[in-house]
Structure 1
C-alpha cells in the first residue's frame, strides 16, 4: 500500500506510536512535517511527499493505524490527534473520520470540531501525564 510493504508499515506504526506517546508525556502536539521527519530519523524509511494526494493519504493511513494500535493503551483516545497542520489549531480531517468510525460524537461545526479536538488532546496529555515521570524500580 502506498509503495510500502507490510514490514515497513509495521516499523512506522511502532515508531510512530512511540513518538506520539512521547509527545503526550511532555504535553505537546506535533506538526505533520515534524512527525514525518522524526519518523524518518528513527526508522530510516523514505519520507512523505505532502505535495501529492498520495503522500497525504499515506500519512492519514499511518495515523489511522497508529491510533487503532494504541487505542486501548491511550485510554480510548486517538493518538493521531497529536498531529496537526503547521500553524493550525486542530487536527486533519482523518482524525475526525476515525473518531466518527470509533463511535465518538464529532461536532459538525468548525468551532465544535476544534473544541472536540482540544478536549481529545487534553485527555491524551492527562492520560499519559505520569508515564515519563515515574520513579525507576529499585
Structure 2
C-alpha cells in the first residue's frame, strides 16, 4: 500500500478544486500559474483581455476560491498551486515541449523553438529576464503560423 505525504494529499484536493472550475477559469488559472504569478493584476487583466482569455471578473472568481490572492496590486499564487498548474500543463505532453500550451522554462522554450515543426499547441511563452547571458538559438520559422 502506497504511503501518501501531506503534500500529495493537499495536491489531490487542489486538483479537485481546479477540475471543478469551468474551462475558461481553468485556462485563466493555468495562465497565472505559468506566467503571471507576482504580476500587477491590472496588467494581467489587460494582457488577457487583449488575448480574449480573461472572462469578466475571472481573476476575482479565482481570488474568491482562494486559488489566487491579491496583495495590494499584485497577483500571488501559493507555491503548491503554481506547481500544480505547471504540472497540469507538462503532463499533457511530457516529452515534446512544442506540444504544450504554455512555455516558461528556458530549456523547454529552446527545445520547442529550435525546430521548424509547427507550434499549433503553444498559446503563450514567457521568458523571464535574468542576469545570466542568454543566447536564443531559435528557428524564425517557429514563429510563422
TM-score above 0.5, yes or no: no
- TM-score, normalised on structure 2? 0.34
Q: Which structure's CA Rg is the greater one?
A: 2
- TM-score, normalised on structure 1? 0.35
